[in-house]
Structure 1
Amino acid sequence: MNDTTPEPRSRNADRSQQAILEAAREEFSLHGLAGARVDRIAERADVNKRLIYYYFGSKDDLFLAVLEGVYADIRAAEKKLHLLELSPPEAIARLTEFTWNYYLEHPEFITLLNSANLHQARHLAKSQRVREMNSPLIQTLGEILEQGRRDGVLRGGIDPVQLYISIAGLAYFYLSNNHTLSAIFGRDLMTRKAHAERLSHMRDVVLGYVLRD
């Protein structure tokens, strides 16, 4: 037998865990941590409920695994942007556009973060993996800002963490609060035209901050 060939049991275990994670992502995004039910996750994943506890330990540990998974997905997508191959202004504009579109196309990301914040991020606070995943993005953004400063096209003294929080916040607040904002201002903020206007505004705000006069 070839030692490099995975055992069938191992492959089945991987498939079961992936099915559980996908079902849990849907359940947590729909109902939050408090409202999620392991029974429904088991039913969605078509596995025995005991298998969930065997692989993940508890509902809280499963929630953390889901959060780590959604962060891994967005960080992997960001890597494909190859931001360091662009000019600094283009890279920042591209990251801004990507962040907006990713949040728009993955509403479960926002609802999962809402649930995590409701519980004061006590799950993410335990995750070294999430911190390690975020560090390369901030390092890349720092390199872009420094290159832009050296090239004379970007202002100096910009904190990459603060900049990323601002980019994410411009998208996150709009989308996570679209129902209340639409009601308050009497405008449907989720039309295609409104989305285009928001992205244009975000680009103007971010680039207006980072570009040198």
Structure 2
Amino acid sequence: MTDLFNNIHGKRIASRKVTGRVRGLYIASGQDFVTQSVDKLHCDHGGIIGDYHYGMTRRAGGREPWYERGTLIRNDRQLSLISVEELEKIATAMGLDVIRPEWIGANIVVEGIADFTLLPAGTVLFFDSGLTLKLNGLNAPCKVAGTSIAQHIGAQNEAMVALNFVKAAKYLRGQTGWVEREGAAEVSDKITVRMPEQLCYAPD
């Protein structure tokens, strides 16, 4: 065990706890991923009740090239989360006054959590109103969300805006996650963030 510790010395980050707050809550109650603002989200183990992405399972797509498209897999992308600080950075990088979280399908907008997108997979979020979420890892930006932005701002060149979003939102697009403990989240909830111990796997 000592030899193992010596091998990873300098590549270990201890578990930590920080806090943030809910800035906004949104649900996709229609037939696509675009969301609408609400005051409260009710969640069970399938995700947000009544949401477009609700379900214990989902179909594999382009993010899972190791499966045939359409293969039934666990739904580890029940919710989309982004920070208000990072959303503002994306808008600035794209030369826009604002990007509304609804346009890119966000369910929860947080504030006060530094480098939110870079939180490690396995981080757990505890909401004051009772909900617990486990983060699946950073959400890679896609042209679908970028096209939605283009349509909402009335851009003449949708393809260019979509591509700009993919570039501007890299490592800023937020996180996806799934419900670990059923419950609710409300606007202004305090969020307790528990990060797991991180070890960098870098074999010779």
- Pairwise same-fold verdict (TM > 0.5): no
TM-score by length of 1: 0.22
TM-score by length of 2: 0.23
Higher relative contact order at CA 8 Å, sep ≥6: structure 1 or structure 2?
A: 2
